[in-house]
Chain A
């Protein structure tokens, strides 16, 4: 009898320990987000006191005079993010449709595998490839384009190849596996009866895709694209290596620029004055808030898309 209650108690303790561990881990996950926000918020206080909200819309970043503002980086981030999305979306849709509706299993499986492979390559490797392969090509293009339009506009930014354009192209490649596999996922849940019904009525394959499938996955595609945008906005190393680190407001796509992430990567270790450091941390705070909002929004859209 004593034996029995002893093992009972042990089991009870284990039971409690187990649910406590689960709860602790769950709470830790939520707390992490809060902790990140609080830490970034507290350590960037000097910058907020000095510049207030004007940090967001002024455009001077000058460490000598200690004037800091985020607009050039916000513009750089949005330009590269949306630029990359614009270029890669048609291809992402094409790939997803090809895999969902055209390719047989023997073709689709290896391609999916390759998409996973491309998506798994580290950012720094894209950066390396971008710097030594893509940037020289962009530079050639800049020279050619400069001669075509009479050049002077390009003189200021030079023809080094580094700049917003190189970053956009590289990002477009980097988010392609991500967006195409997300779109593919939603295409695969389109009920087969819907498609078969349309085909039986004499619609061509493309008719079916255009009038049945695409409307069906509209919401989840938007969610997938928003999620890809979030990824592009926060991408750091590859962009840092090809964007040219200009701190001025970019005027053309050939100008060197900076994203929020690349400005931090380039300058954080060198920033000496407390205000400089705090301003960089405020950039991180802006990036963090944007990333959280975009991710949550995308998940909500995706979930609605699935429920529908």
Chain B
């Protein structure tokens, strides 16, 4: 064996080992969440609000409700902005302002979540004179818009230009070309992008610390403080009570399931529905 082939083999082993290590780490993390999470799951966990501090029992239904409400409202606020910004950039490809918009979307994606939390507090909470789920949703919408805009743009760029040209040749206006040709062709891609953005936003904690603030009660009013799963996990994980630490693991399990559901389950389901209808 020459030095070159020896080196070739060693490096091959090394790169395979790094992939193996990645799988091992992921497996260990998921295994802990699964084992520690599932052990303390019971019906109360999904249907009840937390018991008073120091007492056993209770659940995280308040946080489950909160995560759904906060995430969906954030998506509702962010979706129109994200999609239209994506359309704009895609339609004005190559123009200077569109480039700036794309760069801003990229930069916004990199803004640390805690900065968005501070912004939410100083800009919204202080102004509303109350911690509220709505201010959390608005803060999360700032994370939702840039991801949605970039995905929309990327998906629209994949629409074959022949399709659009054909529509223009038939005398269609730009708006109807975008609406009836591009968006429809790209619908499943955009929807799955929305789901991914939602999954990402649903797991965020830092923007909620100073906005949603947390509540022990099952709360439906967006104008009041509200809990959410990530927030509850953070609070429980740093508590000294073993019972609460266990609930943190169970809540983590539920959150991971929810995110997987949003990210993969819903994506496949929607893709299938769209394909069948088409």
Contacts and interface: CB of A to CB of B under 8 A. Distances in A.
Interface of A: 11, 14-15, 18-19, 21-26, 28-30, 32-33, 35-36, 39-40, 43, 90-95, 97-99, 101-103, 111, 114-118, 120-129, 131-133, 173, 176-177, 180, 204-207, 209, 227, 230-231, 233-237, 241, 261, 264-265, 268-269, 280-281, 284, 287-288, 291-292, 294-296, 299
B44 interface: no
B61 interface: no
Nearest to B83: A25
26 contacts: A15-B175, A28-B81, A29-B101, A33-B107, A36-B115, A39-B119, A90-B18, A91-B22, A93-B18, A94-B15, A116-B263, A121-B256, A122-B255, A123-B203, A124-B237, A132-B237, A133-B32, A205-B12, A206-B12, A231-B110, A261-B112, A268-B121, A281-B118, A291-B111, A292-B110, A295-B106
B223 interface: no
A305 B123 CA distance: 39
Nearest to A234: B112
B244 interface: no
A209 B209 CA distance: 46
5 closest cross-chain pairs (CB), A and B: A122-B203, A234-B112, A94-B18, A295-B110, A25-B84
Given A98-B16, A234-B110, A291-B111, A124 B205 contact: yes
B112 A287 contact: yes
A26 B85 contact: yes
A291 B110 contact: yes
A296 B26 contact: no
Given A204-B8, A268-B117, 18 more contacts: A29-B108, A29-B149, A92-B18, A93-B18, A94-B15, A95-B18, A118-B25, A121-B203, A124-B237, A125-B255, A173-B25, A261-B114, A281-B118, A291-B111, A292-B110, A295-B110, A296-B107, A299-B107
Given A102-B16, A284-B115, A29 B145 contact: yes
Given A25-B88, A281-B122, A284-B114, A124 B203 contact: yes
B258 to A, nearest CB: 10
A230 B19 CA distance: 23
Contacts of A125: 29, 33, 203, 233, 252, 255-256
A94 B17 contact: yes
Interface residues of B, number: 88
B263 to A, nearest CB: 6
Contacts of B107: 33, 291-292, 295-296, 299
Contacts of B106: 295-296, 299
A265 B59 CA distance: 26
A95 B237 contact: no
Contacts of B97: 26
Given A11-B173, A26-B85, A296 B103 contact: yes
B170 to A, nearest CB: 14
A233 B260 CA distance: 26
A204 B4 CA distance: 7
Interface of B: 4-5, 7-8, 11-12, 14-19, 21-23, 25-26, 28-29, 32-33, 36, 80-85, 87-89, 91, 97-98, 100-101, 103-115, 117-119, 121-123, 142, 145-146, 149, 173-176, 178-179, 199-200, 202-206, 209-210, 230, 233-234, 237-238, 245, 248-249, 252, 255-256, 259-260, 263
A149 to B, nearest CB: 28
A241 B230 CA distance: 13
A249 B160 CA distance: 56
Contacts of B174: 15, 18-19
B34 to A, nearest CB: 12
B29 A121 contact: yes
A207 B8 contact: yes
Contacts of B263: 116, 120
Nearest to A36: B119
B114 A91 contact: no
Interface centre among A111, A131, A264 (most CB of B within 10 A): A264
B115 A234 contact: yes
A29 B149 CA distance: 9
Given A36-B115, A98-B15, A131 B237 contact: yes
A29 B146 contact: yes
A42 to B, nearest CB: 9
A128 B199 contact: no
B30 to A, nearest CB: 8
Given A25-B81, A292-B111, A269 B122 contact: no
A32 B142 contact: yes
Nearest to B4: A204
A122 B204 contact: yes
A94 to B, nearest CB: 3
Contacts of B112: 233-236, 261, 287-288, 291
A207 B108 CA distance: 40
Contacts of A176: 22, 25
